[in-house]
Structure 1
Amino acid sequence: MTANRRAERLALPVAGLVTAALLVVMLYYPVATVLVEAIRPEGRVTLDPLLAVLSDPFYVGALAGAVQDPAGIPTGLAAWARSPSVPAFGLFGFTAWQAFLSTLASLALGLPGAYLLARFEFPGRRTVESLTAVPFVLPSIMVAVGFVAAFGANGALNDLLRLVGLPTFDLLFTLEIIVLAHAFYNAPLVTRIVAASWESVDARAVETARSLGASPLRAFRDVVVPQLLPAILTGALLTFIFTFMSFPIILALGGLKLATVEVWLFDRVQQLKLTEAAALAVLETVVSLALTYAYLRYESQSTGTDRSVSPLARERLFGGFDLKRGALLAYGVVVVVVFLLPLVSMVAESVTAASGTGFTTQYYGYLLEREAAQVTVQTKPGIAVRNSLLFGVGTLLLAVPMGVVIAFVTTRDSVLSRVLGTASMLPFAVSGIVIGLGLLDGLVFGIEVGGVRLAVVGPVAIVAAHAIGAYPFVVRNVAPLLGDLDRRLVESARALGATRARALVDVELPLVAPGLAAGAAFAFAISIGEFDSTVILAEGSRAYTMPVAVERFLTDRTLGPATAMGTVLLVVTAAAFVVIDRVGGRYRE
């Protein structure tokens, strides 16, 4: 009994130390390896690689002279002003520009959805609200294939335009399709954040403004908008961060023609120009860390929802037809085109003959032929599916315990907890390419400890990379519920003799099980669809996953096999998400 009690008392400290060690090995050390490579390319400390990037017009455009000739900055800007163009800002400028446009598009698509969910009641509203989380966990390379199938020269949209006799267009390898694809991912995020804020607006404040003579528009502008502005800014900042570091979407839809920092970083790695890649990684990480810090700082200063508010009453959506309902109907058409058409087009393309007419299973037959082929260098769908599922299970085993421990630590009211909470969100600020490169350079290639070279195999590194990308979602689902628990329940358990670890397991975790189940579902789905780090770590091995297989089939310039593999990926992702959600569903009852 004494040994059991001692084990219980040591459980949380040991779990904390193990989690910290895993973060050091799987996150901080790999990232540091990449950053050090940028300033110690040949074993000596130098800033030359960073200065080379900062003084190269290809990377920073008109600001390239800032490093070697600061006095020349006005001249360089004046020359650009006489012939302005986005490329004058270089690769970093274009990356920020497309992120800015993507943010505007996400707000334009997301805010009407927030208005619909917050202000109207209609059958299936809760289901629609839940579906806003789906695009965020869909594999990005699969969505890119869907956009090719929908908006390409021979895509579904052009087929429809030909049918009605209208001119066609091709959006592939244009900035427009990249912005649209980014909006596919981030508009639902904006919708969720702003809708939650809209539902916390106090109706009494609006009624007071109206009673003082304000028109409905004036009451909305002076009372509602100021309360929504923090949520809108939060959604915009998150969208900018995610699109600034976007990789698979731009790789598939823009290629090197519309390369961003992340795509060019991947190209440098493929070309084995690792010092230049490390320098790019350092500068990109500095920018993303600054943006993430601004977001976390802003979020920490934002006040929580006042539970005493009287929410605005919702209108019946189908209670008549007027101008705003007509606008929402038009918005619904846009939603169908942007959100449903790519996925439906991908599935339809996978069973449509190359001639464009007739049903066929030839692309799925092609996948089966690849699987049965004796050529080991070919990408085999069965291996991709097996790897994805195994890596997903491994990610769950790592990410969920790590997320729970970090959530427990960060909900404590102390300066250390806040510091650890901020540090644990580093995966949001560091790209998957950087993490993959760091794991490859450090753990896979091996490190020397006491004259012995320690290394891990590729699949272990891939699971580590997936877990690093997934555990923050466990934290974000579990931590708010832990923070809202009545602390008296824990104190009562402790008063009855339970250790802190026992109280966590027997009292707190069962009460936050819905968040735990949601976090596990997100972690598994993110692992299934993770591409950035996997494409680095799976190079030249049989550890490729379904997203990597989709990208390889897409580069063959034959859309059929890519859409077939993308459909398999969609089915596996949806099935896995539903299974985990159902397993955890009993805790929500």
Structure 2
Amino acid sequence: MAGSKTGSDSSPATEAVTDDSAAGGRTPEANADGPSETARHRVLGAVERRSLPALAVASVALLVVMFYYPVATVFVDAVLVEGRATFQVFWAILTDPFYFGELARLLAGENPLAVAKTVLSPERRLGIVGFTAYQAALSTLVSVVVGIPLAYLLARYEFPGRQTIRSLTILPFVLPSIMVAVGFFATFGANGTLNAALGTVGLGPLDLLPSLEAIVVAHAFYNAPLVARITTAAWESVDASAVETARSLGASPFRAFRDVVWPQVYPAVLMSAALTFVFTFGTFPIVLALGGFELATVEVFVYQLIRDLNYAEGAALALVELAISLSLLYAYLRYEAAHTVQSGGARPQERRPLWPPSRSLRDLLPRVGLAAYAVVALVLFAAPIASMVYASVSGPSGLTLDHYRFLVERQTTGASFQVRPWPAVRNSLLFGVAALAVALPMGVVVSVLTTRDYRGRKLVDTVAMAPLSVSGIIVGLGLLRGLVFGVEIGGWRIAVGGALAIVAAHAVAGYPFVVRIVAPGLESLDRRLVESARALGAPRARALLDIELPLVWPAVVAGAAFAFALSVGEFSATAVLASGTGQYTMPIAIERFIGRRLGPATAMGVVLLVVTSVSFLLIDRLGGDRVGL
């Protein structure tokens, strides 16, 4: 019979059905227990059958409360001024040269010829929005230039440590941006390791902060690995037989690359470049730390407007930024859908050994180039972290623990209004655990919803992934104006505390990554296992718990690690919600210290690095054996 178990022949699906039959009162043995027991089993069976739809409804409700309602509140703040609907605030921003530069003059109705003359002159103004796009374009260019050689190295060569380097390309997703900013301060600041190294060889110090160059390099630290990760996957999927055919017909290596390899790789390059531009267009912590208000982007000005309690203008400017980002992303996705080259069934090219070295010129030149690239990558990726650690234990007279002693003294003797280390660490961990408790179930449920075949699946996927496209500043502003300030319902004013709002913001930021990691695993499962279990009577929720989730458990654990690490390092929304409260976290403490003393900021950065890394590894060791996006 289907419900029996005979030795090792029983499958997970059969075991699930056997357990379910016993729990659901479907067998005579179960019915023999009496009417009350049978009724209890029927109730349990009904609960199991309805649990997944109930979880789906609960996840949608949480998404509405934590994300869509707050974002809608930002829209209302932008168009409803003093109880009157108006687009005056939007129009004032669009026609203000401070924000839109020379384009604002055109929108204001000035003579196009006069505006064109100014655009071509040295006196032209980009405006805040124009400067934001300019630094995003430079950051994208540098990220692509640095990322593509890494992708080529990983895709075309075999060498010891290759898989480790490929795995390390995921680190920027979990390293807090404010910590990276501290690392760049420690490297390129006036008293940083770069100037110290230049001083040892008799060269004068360089004044690199604040500067646009530092912002661009810091963005490349984050986004070049993203470019490499996406492009490597495309490069590895290039059909080797097509390349071999081109070479056998007389094509030179360059011609084969241009006509065969590049058409299959460039869509991935464009995708990574588009994502990089969107991410750097909405940048906040790195620009705030490395550029300040001298090189402010749209996000920095939104933050300043909120601090000045100018919510209407801040909301309108945030929505202008959101409209630009979403338009750029949508335009590329349409292009990518029409031009992506399908490579189904392709035979990947064999990787050439990078070691031991060959004496042929054909192999020597790439190795020289890769060695030069390794030096650049070492300076770009390893130096900021190493400099931060070194700066935390060094002072004018050499190695010292004074910066860590400062943190201890601030904890024990600091005034109540000052940022103290232990509350920052405690809050970060508590917020991380609470956000994980919300983000992980939501992410798993949404993963199930987005991997099933039904009408409206694409709409559900788009609605669920919307938080990836909305900046933390907008989410934080919406939560502040909507839930923290409170909403009146039936004469009652309902409000939540700042801590709950921070947890909601962190959960909104983390759960899409759970979906991005878990959903591919669910989609690749053998559907026959689930179909067999369902055909034999297992409820949908039971099949999910007993069959699907155990098979994708490593992905679930990896998603949990990402959600927790992202919460610990989240800065943008927390900076809005924690302003004026005692709910500060480690990233907030670092930002406060940077403005006063770099030493304590680097020490706090090391604490954040240790907490993030240990937490990520501990969660991953609970059951994950892979991490990927």
What is the TM-score when the length of structure 1 is the normalising length?
A: 0.96
The question of 1:22 aligning with 2:39 is answered no
Partner of 1:572: 611
Moved over 4 A (4+): 295-307
Greater Cα shift, 336-345 or 478-487: 478-487
Partner of 1:338: 380
Partner of 2:324: 287
Alignment of 1:141-160 (within 5 A): 141-160=178-197
Deviation at 1:586, TM superposition (A): 6.3
Alignment of 1:185-334 (within 5 A): 185-297=222-334, 306=343, 308-320=345-357, 322-334=364-376
Deviation at 1:66, TM superposition (A): 3.4
* Preserved CA contact (<8 Å) 1:63 1:73: no
CA distance in 1, matches of 2:544, 2:476: 34
CA distance in 2, matches of 1:540, 1:345: 32
Partner of 2:14: none
The question of 1:439 aligning with 2:479 is answered yes
Deviation at 1:378, TM superposition (A): 1.1
CA distance in 2, matches of 1:121, 1:546: 40
Deviation at 1:152, TM superposition (A): 1.1
| Structure whose CA Rg is larger | 2
- Provide closer, same or farther for how the CA distance between residues 300 and 545 of structure 1 changes in structure 2, counting only shifts above 3 A: farther
Partner of 2:458: 418
CA distance in 2, matches of 1:300, 1:368: 55
The question of 1:489 aligning with 2:522 is answered no
Deviation at 1:303, TM superposition (A): 5.9
* Preserved CA contact (<8 Å) 1:58 1:90: yes
Q: 1:129 aligns with which of 151, 155, 166?
A: 166
The question of 1:359 aligning with 2:399 is answered yes
Alignment of 1:25-64 (within 5 A): 25-64=65-104
| SS of equivalent to 2:538 | coil
CA distance in 1, matches of 2:152, 2:337: 25
* Preserved CA contact (<8 Å) 2:476 2:576: yes
| SS of equivalent to 1:319 | coil
Aligned-partner residue type, residue 399 of structure 2 = F
Cα distance per residue 1:354-413 (max 9 Å; x no partner): x1x411111100000111125211111000001101111111111111111111111223
Aligned-partner residue type, residue 134 of structure 1 = L
* Preserved CA contact (<8 Å) 2:157 2:353: yes
The question of 1:525 aligning with 2:561 is answered no
* Preserved CA contact (<8 Å) 1:63 1:77: no
Greater Cα shift, 287-296 or 503-512: 287-296
Partner of 1:474: 514
| SS of equivalent to 2:394 | coil
Aligned-partner residue type, residue 527 of structure 1 = S
Partner of 2:491: 451
The question of 1:348 aligning with 2:390 is answered yes
* Preserved CA contact (<8 Å) 2:555 2:624: no
The question of 1:514 aligning with 2:551 is answered no
- Provide closer, same or farther for how the CA distance between residues 586 and 234 of structure 1 changes in structure 2, counting only shifts above 3 A: closer
Deviation at 1:7, TM superposition (A): 0.6
CA distance in 1, matches of 2:440, 2:123: 49
* Preserved CA contact (<8 Å) 1:296 1:422: no
The question of 1:72 aligning with 2:111 is answered yes
CA distance in 2, matches of 1:195, 1:379: 43
Deviation at 1:28, TM superposition (A): 0.5
What is the TM-score when the length of structure 2 is the normalising length?
A: 0.90
| SS of equivalent to 1:425 | helix
Q: Which runs of 5+ in 2 are unaligned?
A: 1-40, 359-363
- Provide closer, same or farther for how the CA distance between residues 586 and 247 of structure 1 changes in structure 2, counting only shifts above 3 A: closer
CA distance in 2, matches of 1:47, 1:586: 52
Deviation at 1:320, TM superposition (A): 1.7
Aligned-partner residue type, residue 493 of structure 1 = A
Cα distance per residue 1:505-559 (max 9 Å; x no partner): 1111112222211111111110010000001111111111000000001111x11
Aligned-partner residue type, residue 231 of structure 1 = A
Percent identity, please. Answer: 57
Partner of 1:534: 574
CA distance in 1, matches of 2:342, 2:521: 14
Q: Which runs of 5+ in 1 are unaligned?
A: none
* Preserved CA contact (<8 Å) 2:49 2:541: yes
Q: 1:5 aligns with which of 45, 49, 56?
A: 45
CA distance in 2, matches of 1:576, 1:302: 41
| SS of equivalent to 1:170 | coil
Deviation at 1:5, TM superposition (A): 1.1
Alignment of 1:367-382 (within 5 A): 367-373=407-413, 375-382=415-422
Partner of 1:582: 621
Greater Cα shift, 317-326 or 565-574: 317-326
CA distance in 2, matches of 1:133, 1:84: 42
Alignment of 1:87-102 (within 5 A): 88-102=125-139
Q: 1:561 aligns with which of 576, 600, 604?
A: 600
Cα distance per residue 1:132-162 (max 9 Å; x no partner): 1112210000100100100112111111111
Partner of 2:4: none
Deviation at 1:297, TM superposition (A): 4.2
Deviation at 1:167, TM superposition (A): 3.5
Partner of 2:213: 176
CA distance in 1, matches of 2:340, 2:538: 34
| SS of equivalent to 1:82 | coil
Cα distance per residue 1:451-494 (max 9 Å; x no partner): 11101111110000000011110111011121222211110110
Aligned-partner residue type, residue 615 of structure 2 = A
Tell me the number of residue pairs that the alignment of Structure 1 and Structure 2 aligns.
582
CA distance in 2, matches of 1:193, 1:341: 24
